[in-house]
Structure 1
Amino acid sequence: MLKVKPIPGTLVLVRDFISMLRKRNGRIGACMTMLSRNCQNF
């Protein structure tokens, strides 16, 4: 994942953002949460 400075509230925003992506597109959400071979399917 992108290296983000540990700013209070950042992890929460990232988690909510990823959750939103998961609802819209499961593949993109999985790709962002865990960099796996699934990313190569795009």
Structure 2
Amino acid sequence: MGERSGGRHRSVVVAEELAARLQAAGIGAETEHRHIDRPVLT
């Protein structure tokens, strides 16, 4: 994963990475961004 959060919370990055790995393994998974309209804090 490394340092690629781009100002997002680590939990978002972890959730997206986990979903991607599950999908790659053939397991249905998706993420939902409930607060996507809020500004990113830097």
TM range (shorter): 0.3 to 0.5
Q: TM-score, normalised by structure 1?
A: 0.40
Return the structure number with greater helix share.
Answer: 1
Higher relative contact order (CA 8 A, sep 6+): 2
Q: TM-score, normalised by structure 2?
A: 0.40
